[in-house]
Chain A
Amino acid sequence: MFESMLSGMWTGISSTFIPINIVMVLFGCFMGSFIGMMPGLGPITAVALMIPITYGLDPTTGMVLLAGVYYGAIFGGSTASILINAPGEAATVATAIDGYPLARQGKPGKALAIAAYSSFSGGTIGVIMLMLFAPALASVSKGFQSVDYFALMILGLTAVSAFAGKGGFMKAMLMTILGLMLSTVGTDQTSGTQRFTFGSLELLDGIEFLMLAMATFALTEALLLVLKRDESSDSLDPKSIGFKDLKVTKDEFKLIAPTVAISSLLGFIVGVLPGAGATLGSFMSYGMERNLAPKEEQEKFGKGSLRGLAAPETGNNAASTGSFVPLLTLGIPGSGTTAVMLGALVAYGIDPGPRLFVDRPEVFWGVIMSMYLGNVFLLILNLPLIPYFARLLAIPRVIMIPAILFFSLMGVYLVTFNSFDIQMMVIFCVAALLLRLMNMPMAPLLLGFILGGLMEDNLRRGLAIYDNSVSFMWERPLTLGINIATLVVLFFPLIRSSIKGLFSKKAAV
């Protein structure tokens, strides 16, 4: 196994360390940081916006670019959280808890530098673990059958909803179902039957994934910024940061070192769980660090604690890396962003799943090795560029929002060359906007949409193998194991609240 890992690493190095891929990682990190920094725009939007560019590229190069955009956007989101208390997305909310007070204390440079070092450490440790675990899991999953995949997809979709937070389970399930419903539009590949096409030629091939991703994220996020009159750039002058402010002392490094180690491990494990992703990784790392810290340090949390800043930053980067494990080994996305990346893989003509490890090792290992490169680039590119990046936050929204709308529309048009798709995008955008106003989450919708077709195919194939009987759900041990895991995840909110109730009762006694 060790030998195959070494040969895989060599494949990854030889496919990644070529000029075009190095340039793409650099470009991806830069663009990701730039887009992720815009308040309101997160990694899903960043990745979706960059997909049209990758369509003309080799799949390895395309994935390398998207991976760079992903962790660049996570890092960029932290910059907006620290400087103007406007997290680009949920994964960087925990960063703002201590990062913003630190910036307000006159140490914005130090806060950004600690975020950069923590992101780098979390990302790099995460990649090392990804390199160790992903091939092992991919080898195991080679024995999977259609029915196991169907069960795994149910597990993935359920997990996304189960980790949705307080009161979010039902809504996330409902949005997953909506995504699954949208995936049935078009011609049924097996029977050739048209479903929900309403006689429209444009709908025969179904709904374009990129169009849906752009409409539900990029367009909707941009319009929400207008709708909410979000003027969050008035709290700190990003131009006030200089190079000398970025210095971190030896003692400060010593203080955050254990935090980084623990949060990397925790973040990665959380990231591997389908549906958990960077948000849970950052919050769990922050919560754990607060509980582990000595009492006097605990009091500093929320007021500009360095450990409080390092923990979520490390956690979200390690979790982002961890979320690539189910994507690369099982073809099941662990988060909204990896769901978009899965859609891109399918669009490149690559069949995601354990065969990816065998059939396209250059893509599998190329993505992993590019992450090393990306983490190094993020540090050496972003650290000295922090003062300049921060100034981008001063670009007026009057210019930025129409530009985002334009890039989204243009991105889809230049892939399909069909103006009908622009009208469809607007319809989906308005629907998504309404659903967002009604507090419905969008990431499960995208996940359901992407997995819907694969799920139906695998179930149909499974039923054909098992003579139209669903007994495989409990007769095949592997499928049964996955189904039990689904039940555990399904009842996770209930288990969580029961445990909480038990603890609060004990505390009351």
Chain B
Amino acid sequence: MAREKLGALLMLLFSIAYGIGAINIPLSFLAQQETFSSRTMPMALAVAGIVFSVAIIVLPTVDPDGKPSLGDVTKGMEFRKTIYLILLMIAYGLLMKWIGFLIASAIFLMVGFRILGEKRLKIIVLGAVPLVIFLWFIMSLLLGVYIAPGEIFYIMGII
């Protein structure tokens, strides 16, 4: 299956789900009498999404870049490192609140360098720590942006 048809299929499913969500948008009695309510635009968009998705699926693929299957295009791609980086970003978001911006950011960069293949500890540390401290310095001390310390410091009684 051409990769853009697969994309259209995903969009068709999304449009149907979005349309169901649009039908279920709660409306007051008065709003239900209006010609243009909060549901109108979402419902129109759901219909348009379904029409265009079906058109892409049914009509022949013209764009040569869209013809190969997803498997052909992604063959040999570096999925492992990409997934690790995605997981690293999720962990960064979760850890930020607890261990604070400085430590979370430094860990994020160091682990990121390591995932992409940097093995020299000196480069990893020198690439991450000064950059994070420099940014923290600019934001906190020069621009006066308050960056809250991690919750863990309050729990441990350090702050």
Contacts and interface: CB of A to CB of B under 8 A. Distances in A.
Contacts of B55: 170
Contacts of A420: 93
Given A177-B45, A177-B49, A398-B117, A195 B25 contact: yes
A460 B36 contact: yes
Which of the listed residues A56, A173, A399, A420 has the most CB atoms from chain B within 10 Å of its own CB?
A: A399
Contacts of A406: 105, 108-109, 112
The size bracket of the interface on A is 35 or more
Contacts of A419: 93-94, 96-97
B139 interface: yes
Contacts of B81: 226
B56 to A, nearest CB: 5
A178 B117 CA distance: 36
B85 A167 contact: no
Contact of B66 (A167, A188, A435): A167
A174 B53 contact: yes
A168 B77 CA distance: 24
B59 A170 contact: yes
A413 B96 contact: yes
B148 A417 contact: yes
Contact of A426 (B18, B93, B145): B93
* Chain A contact residues: helix, strand, loop or mixed: helix
Contact of A459 (B4, B26, B36, B148): B36
Contacts of A477: none
A229 interface: yes
Given A410-B105, A419-B97, A193 B4 contact: no
Contacts of B18: 181, 196
A261 interface: no
B96 A193 contact: no
A414 B139 CA distance: 9
Contact of B62 (A166, A178, A410, A425): A166
A227 interface: yes
B65 A439 contact: yes
A437 B77 CA distance: 11
A505 interface: no
Contacts of B74: 437
Nearest to B4: A439
A203 interface: no
Interface string A362-377: 0000000000000000
Nearest to B90: A426
Nearest to B147: A414
Interface string A424-466: 0110011001110111100000000000000010011001000
Given A167-B61, A226-B116, A414-B139, A191 B31 contact: yes
Nearest to B148: A417
Interface residues of B, number: 75
Given A409-B89, A423-B93, A166 B31 contact: no
B78 A398 contact: no
A463 B36 contact: yes
Nearest to B96: A419
B85 A223 contact: yes
A452 to B, nearest CB: 8
A193 B25 contact: yes
A171 interface: yes
Interface in B56-107: 56, 59, 61-66, 70, 73-74, 76-79, 81-82, 85-86, 89-90, 92-94, 96-97, 101, 105
B130 interface: no
Nearest to B55: A170
Nearest to B48: A177
B31 to A, nearest CB: 6
B6 interface: yes
Given A167-B63, A405-B89, A414-B147, A174 B11 contact: yes
Contacts of B59: 170
Contacts of A173: 52
B85 A184 contact: no
A422 interface: yes
B40 to A, nearest CB: 9
Contact of A423 (B37, B77, B82, B90): B90
Nearest to A400: B116
A438 B82 CA distance: 17
A409 B46 CA distance: 31
26 contacts: A166-B64, A171-B66, A173-B52, A174-B11, A177-B48, A178-B11, A178-B14, A178-B49, A181-B18, A181-B49, A193-B26, A196-B25, A226-B82, A397-B116, A399-B123, A401-B112, A403-B131, A405-B112, A413-B101, A414-B139, A422-B93, A423-B93, A425-B89, A429-B89, A430-B86, A439-B65
Interface of B: 3-4, 6-8, 10-11, 14-15, 18, 21-22, 25-28, 31, 35-38, 41-42, 45-46, 48-49, 52-53, 55-56, 59, 61-66, 70, 73-74, 76-79, 81-82, 85-86, 89-90, 92-94, 96-97, 101, 105, 108-109, 112-113, 115-118, 123, 127, 131, 135, 139, 143, 145, 147-148
| 9 closest residue pairs by CB, A with B | A402-B112, A167-B63, A438-B7, A422-B93, A167-B62, A193-B38, A468-B35, A439-B66, A188-B38
